Amino acid sequence: MRVLITGASSGIGLSMAHYFDKLGYDLVLVSRDKKKLEGVKFNNKVEVYCTDISVIDNCKELYHKYRDVDIVVNNAGFGLFGKFNEANLDKEMNMIDVNVRALHILTKLYLNDMIKRDNGHILNVASIAGFMPGPLMNTYYATKNYVVRLSQGIKEELRRNKSNVGIHILCPGPVKTNFDNVAGVSFSLKGMNSDYVAKYAIDNMLKGKFVIVPGFSIKMLRFVSKVVPDSWLMRMVYNSQKRKGSK
């Protein structure tokens, strides 16, 4: 059994790699920074593939090099803080390339193989942000909304075809990773441990759960997002984002 993980050199991705390794999986770890994975010890077979998945051709090359995988974890992604009219356009476009386009391509390519075999799992790392509007982090929230809606639609198609292929979305809140530094934010909510989030996500994925939300407070936030009118939710999120502040 082999699992491919994007964004595997740190944070949730690296924690998932360790937990999958503990479960006996061989690993394909995808990262732009190979040096971060040098010296990291694993028990099972590990291949490190260094590439920038924001480039379409790189996604296709990755797929053709590693077609024989049982689980794909689309984990790579980043955020950016700031008012929409002030946020750096180039960074936003790169974010869309990584958070949306790369995930879309890899999901489609690997899903087709899994459907033919009638087995496999795709775990798309979204966020609790995927269920909300995101003033002051508009583009990031929009990319995670895309991940949620895309995965929901695929799930229904698989269900109607009685497929044994599983698609899943991980929707955490703040996690203790380098995300804060890249996005330029300081979260008011205490970040969860990435090892806990990784284990919770993988265990629930293997049980067949679709929406995976770790942590009681984030589960409550998910409930609030369902029942509160959008006009209120926009204000609530704005005030929460404003409290984070820009670094």
pLDDT tens per residue, range 115-126: 999 999 999 999
Residue 3 is inside which H or E element, if any? strand 2-6
125 bridge partner residues = 170
* Of 26-30, 33-37, 81-85, 223-227, highest mean pLDDT: 26-30
- Report which of residues 178 and 222 the model is more confident about: 222
Q: Which CATH class, in words, describes the domain spanning 2-244?
A: alpha beta
Is residue 89's pLDDT more than 90?
yes
* Residues 227-232, mean pLDDT to the nearest whole number: 88
pLDDT of residue 177: 59
3-state secondary structure of 188: coil
**Terminal-residue alpha carbon distance, the chain:** 42
Give the pLDDT confidence of 11-45 residue by residue, as tens digits: 999 999 999 999 999 999 999 988 888 878 999 99
pLDDT digits (tens, 9 = 90+) for 154-189: 999 999 999 999 999 999 988 875 554 444 454 455
Domain segments of the chain: what residues? Answer: 2-244
Whole-angstrom distance, CA of residue 128 vs CA of residue 226: 12
pLDDT > 70: what percent of the chain? 92
Note the pLDDT of residue 182: 47
pTM, to two decimals: 0.90
Contact partners, residue 125, CB within 8 Å, separation at least 6: 7, 12, 73, 74, 75, 77, 147, 169, 170
Helix, strand or coil, per DSSP, at residue 212: strand
How confident is the model over 70-95, as a mean pLDDT?
95
Give the residue with greater pLDDT, 210 vs 239: 210
Burial class (CB in 10 A: 0-12, 13-18, 19+), 72: buried
pLDDT exceeds cutoff 80 at 90:
yes
Q: What is the pLDDT of residue 183?
A: 44
Residue 120 CA to residue 127 CA, distance in Å, equals: 22
The pLDDT confidence band at residue 221, using thresholds 50, 70 and 90, is: confident
Residue with more model confidence, 233 or 210: 210
Query: Residue 73: is its pLDDT beyond 50?
Result: yes
Task: Kindly report which listed range (50-64, 65-79, 117-131, 184-198) carries the lowest average pLDDT score.
Answer: 184-198
Interatomic CA distance for residues 170 and 164, integer angstroms: 19
